[in-house]
Amino acid sequence: MKILLIKPRWNVEGRFCQSMDQVRGTPLSLGILAALSDGHAVQIVDRDWQPLPADGRFDLVGITVTTFTSEQAFELARWARRRGAKVVLGGVHPSILPKECLRHADAVVIGEAEYVWKQILLDAQASRLKPVYQAQCPTRMDDVPMPRRDLLAESPWVAYVQATRGCPHSCAYCYLPSVPWSCFRKRSVELVREDIIRLKKKLVIFVDDNLFADRRYALDLCGMLRSLKVNWSVQAPTTISEDEELLDAMAGSGCWHVLVGFQSFNAKSLEQAAVFHNRVEDYKALVDRLHARRILATGFFMFGFDSDGPDCFDGAVEMIKRIDLDGAKLYILTPYPGTKFHGKLEQEGRLLEGSRSAQFGWYRAVFQPKMMSPEQLELGVQGAHDRLLEHFRKRLPKTIWRYWKMGLGHPQLAKTLICGALWRSHRRRNADALELEEDRA
């Protein structure tokens, strides 16, 4: 069969430009499916960077779907079906809302696809696709094949890698507790090593939800990375703060950047969100410990919790400056449809009527906050983002001085970070306008 695998655009409505936006994020899940498609002709399209194929003739089209890309995905499904292809939808959105997705596809995958994909191919080839496919258990990480990176439009100087899946925490705003793959699993260090060696790149970004859920595994991984002499970036919880041995291992193995889920400076908001592992009083110590080891620190922050009033934005800006972060990513609290958080707001009558799926991408208010209006929430986050962009721009010489050796070793990374810091603040246009008119011709 001729198979097309598509990742819709992630440039969601209202998104703020970020310094790493020009780095091509790799849809590893599609590369994995391609690796499981022996005997078939497979093409992968990342719509953030690539157009749809000119001929548009395929036997099977698979699309990975989030809530905020679902409008695009359904339009892409119509595009494929008009050309005679069978369509399979997978990912977060079909796993949570399979009935909605089935209205636009021939089949949906609930949960991870590794254990059902080959059956899907057999059924598609025999014209007997079932409406729903779901594995009987979460995927063992050592059963995941190396992704077909030859089919992926990766950046030439950086690569994305996954060592673990899932997270033991149950944060109220997170979609993970609502999907079948939430449990924490890890890939053998030897297979992660093999994957990185195949990359032949010296800069790696781990896409794991929580690489540090198993401390011993994280230490073993650091030991392996040290032997490869690569530099790497990762998302981490605040709980790494007290573990000096782990922080030393990270620094010694080439970790240059950590994205930390601080989420809020408001202790009540953290309690409401069930982020019990975060303690505001420890934030600065973590940043100081990372900086002492020459590791850049970027913080994630959310706004719109029931304890957040109109003054939360100014307070957050000042605290971000005070703890001396190197960067900050600001988001609006977003209730994924199908999650318990969404159900709670629906029960309270606080979901905004007319909100479209494309607005569920963390940059638009889709519910009524308790202590401000939706407009105040959106403008507050936008204003905080603008003030921080100016702050980090002024702070750039300090960052360059602190990390100049890293910049010399990876000039493309240095260029990306510097150019990103000098961008003027603006929101992206409504990228959920699909621009498929030329593809319909």
Same domain, yes or no, for 259 and 390? yes
Radius of gyration of the chain (CA): 22
Range of the domain at 342: 204-407
Same domain, yes or no, for 99 and 245? no
pTM: 0.92
Is position 291 within any domain?
yes
Residue type, 122: L
Is position 264 within any domain?
yes
Q: Which helix (H) or strand (E) holds 384?
A: helix 374-402
Tokens of 440: 């319909």
CATH number of domain containing 82: 3.40.50.280
Q: Please state the rounded mean pLDDT for residues 49-78.
A: 94
The domain tally of the chain equals 2
Q: What is the band of 166 on the pLDDT scale with cuts at 50, 70, 90?
A: very high
Terminal-to-terminal C-alpha distance of the chain: 24
- Torsion-angle region of residue 337: left (phi > 0), alpha (psi -120 to 50) or beta? beta
Check residue 437 and give its pLDDT: 41
Per-residue pLDDT tens for 408-438? 889 888 887 777 766 554 444 443 344 444 4
Confirm if 40 and 2 have CB atoms less than 8 A apart: yes
Is position 10 within any domain?
yes
Check residue 414 and give its pLDDT: 85
Per-residue pLDDT tens for 247-302? 999 999 999 999 999 999 999 999 998 899 999 999 999 999 999 999 999 999 99
Is position 176 within any domain?
no
Distances in whole angstroms, Cα of residue 136 to Cα of each of 35, 129, 146? 21, 18, 22
Same domain, yes or no, for 221 and 105? no
Same domain, yes or no, for 20 and 129? yes
Is position 341 within any domain?
yes
Is position 333 within any domain?
yes
Same domain, yes or no, for 121 and 265? no
CATH number of domain containing 318: 3.30.750.200
Q: Cβ atoms within 10 A of the Cβ of 70, count?
A: 27
